[in-house]
Amino acid sequence: MKNISLLIKTLFIAFSFLIMGCEKTTYEFGDITTPSNLNVITEIVGADENNPYGDGSGEVIFTTTSDNTITYKYIHNGSEKMAPTGTLKYSFGATGVHKYIVTVVASGKAGVSSSKSVEVEVLVVYSPPADLITMLTGDDSRNWRIKAEQPGHLGLSPADLDAPSWWSAGPNEKDGLGLYDDIITFNVDGTISYETNGDIFGKKPPMDADFGVQGEPEQDNQEYHNYPLAAFTDSWSLSAPGGNETLSFAQFGFAGLYVGGDHKYEIIERSDNEMSLRIIGWDGNAWYATLIAID
């Protein structure tokens, strides 16, 4: 009987420890308060009484303050930029005087957030160099394609870098997808013709938003391999926000891999027949593409 009693006590203690071990640990955030009292100050660089829209650089400094906030994010035309301190210098690129709406999102504990939109009217003065126009258009019309045979013709990195670090495509890595047969024709009058040969390649979220849902993506990384899209036309322009030559498309023009964003590609390197481009995509990351002229 003593042995049975001892066994029962041992099993009871073991069971108690098991129950205690299975209890979930409770984590508390403390008081969760939504960010409030958002105040956004805009400073157009070079603006004064005689130059209300700035000095022509297109630069605006945004400064946001609020209560109960951990970090800030600025959104313009689908492009997102993080600004942990609330201050961001942004360069607008469209030549002339234009109005822009920028939304700032203040995020607090546990992901709660508040937002506010502001409008700025900014002047951009820019005359692209003649050799850049000649490179793009041949002073008439010029055809371009993705340089599929080159290592790194597509790439990905964080937004604060200027070269691929997370991924760099190998030669012809995306062969068979709706990518390498695309041809972009730049015309000197500021228009483009985009020959898709029936389909394009890109990321599902921005393509769904811009063109409509076309079934399920091909891979876990949310890609459409052969998204059906007919040939289309668009317009292009050049600017140099912050001194960086930038190629902008008015609507849905893109370079090789569709990643959405604001459709503004920084020209990070160029020669007479090639150019390497960088864009901040819908996801806030930097995407890269290398184009070569077809002469």
One DSSP character per residue, the chain reads -HHHHHHHHHHHHHHHHHHHHHSPPP---------EEEEEEEEETT--SS-TT-SSB-EEEEEEEEES-SEEEEEETTEEEE-TTSEEEEE--SSEEEEEEEEEEEE-GGG-EEEEEEEEEEEE-----HHHHHHHHTTSEEEEEE-TTSTTSEEEE-TT-SS--SEEPPTTTTTTSTTTT-EEEEETTSEEEEE-TTEEEEEHHHHHHHH---S--SSTT-EEEEEE---EEEEEEEE-GGG--EEEESSS--SSEE--TT-EEEEEEE-SSEEEEEEE-TTS-EEEEEEEEE-
Looking at the 3D structure of the chain, how many domains does it have? 2
pLDDT at 91 over 90: no
Residue 71 placed within a domain:
yes
Residue 23 placed within a domain:
no
So what's the pLDDT on residue 2?
45
What's the rounded mean pLDDT across residues 101-125? 94
Q: Read off the CATH number of the domain in which 88 is found.
A: 2.60.40.10
Residue 281 placed within a domain:
yes
pLDDT tens for 145-173 read 999 999 999 999 999 899 999 999 999 99
Residue 280 placed within a domain:
yes
Residue 7 placed within a domain:
no
Confidence (pTM): 0.69
Q: What is the domain extent for residue 287?
A: 130-294
